[in-house]
Each structure stands twice: as structure tokens, then as C-alpha cells.
Chains A and B, each alone.
Chain A
Amino acid sequence: MAAPELPNAELAERAAVTPSTLARRLERLRTRGVLKGTRGLVHWPALGYEVEVSLRVTLDKTAPRAFDEFIAAAREVPEVLEIQTFLGSVDVRLAVIARDMAHYQQLYRERLLTLPHLADIEALMHVAQVKEGETVPL
């Protein structure tokens, strides 16, 4: 997890097993669905997307299909990178990228504020990534 680029031979050395045992173990983790693959993480600023915002959304839950309809509409916005639903004071979070602040403002007004069943929305502007990688303590 910590070093996905690591070649198998080196990984075997770290885990103190032979390369063939490692290959078998990895294959087993894959077939059991524990290892689902390796994703490339896109560095959006390199493609001209300089702004990243975390939107915390509260929905109007009096509408019975509020969650489904909101999420279906949010999927239609290409700049939306992540959609999470929560148990807590926030209902949904959207991670959104934009080329610059002007583009973000346009997205916000025309595509995001117009999403269905929106009751309240709060923005956290991304300043810096301090830690990432999403490893788990095993």
C-alpha cells in the first residue's frame, strides 16, 4: 500500500517471502477481492484545473427521493470527482475541481446551486494536501 510502485522482487524481500510465494499470495488477495487494482491519481493542476473545493451539502429530506435524485444529477457534472453520503450533520459531500475561480463561480451558480433538493451548501476551499495515499494500519 505504502509503495505501489515497488517491484515484486523488492516487495518479496520486505515481506520476507520468496517471489513465488509472494506471487501466489497476491493472486489469492486478488481473487478474494481484497486487492481490487491500482488506480492512477490524476494531478489535475497539470491539466489546468487549479481550484479544488469540498462542498458540504444538506438536502431537503422532506422529498422522499432527495438522495437518489441529487446524486444522479451530481453525476452529470463532469467536474465532480467524488460523491460521499454521510450519517451526521452533513448529508452529502462533493469534491469539485475548476480551472480557476471564475470557472468555479460559474460552475457553482449554473451547475451546483441548481442541483435538486439542495437545502444548504457550504464550501471548503482546498489549500494544501498534507497527507494522502489512503493506507490503512495493518
Chain B
Amino acid sequence: MELDEIDRALVRALSEDMNATAGALGRQLGLSQPACWRRIQRLRDGGVFRGRRVDLDLQALGFGVTVFLGVKLATKGRVSLEDFERAVSAIPEVQIVEHVLGLFDYRLRVVARDLPDFERVLRRRIMTLPGVGNVEANVVLSEERRPGPLG
């Protein structure tokens, strides 16, 4: 989908606040409310947004630890990828599961209340997954999300 400068500014604004109104965004960008609404509708219809995420203060909710895990499957071929994916996706503390190519087969993002809580998730839930092999854990110290190539 081709975007002009105004579209890119709209995508950028909506990626920060999906609940922003067409009127407010239009005023920022010098568009009338209907013109802005039509552009937003075109972006949505074009599949530019795959969803939305509620931005939460995890610390305030008692989730002090985020860990990225690299998981290598030990017994490829014997355990189906679908079985592993279904089981790992069912773990509530696992936020993101990505099938990747490289040093690992899967990349996971896991939240926990603290390090002992993380150890419980790792031992009882992750290490017992069907076919799981080598697991590498890295505790997140800081995180920053960037707007991406939107001009």
C-alpha cells in the first residue's frame, strides 16, 4: 500500500494512540474531520494495523520481571511443531511466541512477578513442554519501542 506524508503521520499517531479521534488527528495535520476519517478508514481497510495493544504499567500490576527466552527443540520430527506451539501458547505468562530461524527455533517473551516466580514458570511450565531442548534466558533491563520507518 502506498502512503503519502500525511498517511505516514497518521500511522505514526495511531500507533501511539489508537483511540485518537479523526477530528483531533485532522486538526493536528490540517485536515477536515471527514477527510481524516476517510484516510484512517483507507489505512484500516488496507490492513495497515494488525491489532491494538493496551499499554500497561507492568510494575504497577506487580509484574517486575520480563524475560526473553530462546528455545531450541530437542527432538525435531518426533514432536510436532503444532504440539509445542499449542502447549507454549497456553502458558499465561508467555506473552509472545515467534517461530524463528537461526540459533533457536522459538523466541518467547515471558512476564513474571519476580525472579523466583520466573524460576517456577521456567521449571514447571517451559522445561516440561513437549520436545523442548536448549533454553537460553535473558532478563530485560530496559526496553524502548521505536516508531519505525514512517518518514
Contacts and interface: CB of A to CB of B under 8 A. Distances in A.
Output the residue of A1, A33, A131 with the most chain B CB within 10 A: A131
Nearest to B81: A130
Contacts of A79: 148-149
A136 B46 contact: no
A4 to B, nearest CB: 5
B54 A35 contact: yes
Contacts of A43: 47-50
A93 B115 CA distance: 21
B89 A130 contact: yes
Contacts of A93: 68, 138
Q: How large, as a class, is the contact surface on chain B?
A: 35 or more
A122 B68 CA distance: 15
Contact of A4 (B54, B60, B100, B111): B54
A46 interface: yes
Most chain-A Cβ atoms within 10 A of its Cβ — which of B14, B17, B51, B85?
B51
Interface in B97-151: 97-104, 106-107, 109, 111, 136-146, 148-150
Given A35-B54, A79-B148, A127-B100, 12 more contacts: A32-B60, A39-B18, A41-B51, A46-B46, A71-B144, A78-B150, A82-B144, A84-B68, A84-B140, A128-B98, A132-B95, A134-B95
Smallest CB-CB A-B distances: 10 pairs:
A88-B138, A137-B92, A43-B50, A130-B97, A86-B138, A131-B97, A40-B18, A36-B55, A124-B100, A78-B149
Interface of B: 1, 3, 11, 14-19, 46-58, 60-61, 63, 68, 70, 85, 88-89, 92-104, 106-107, 109, 111, 136-146, 148-150
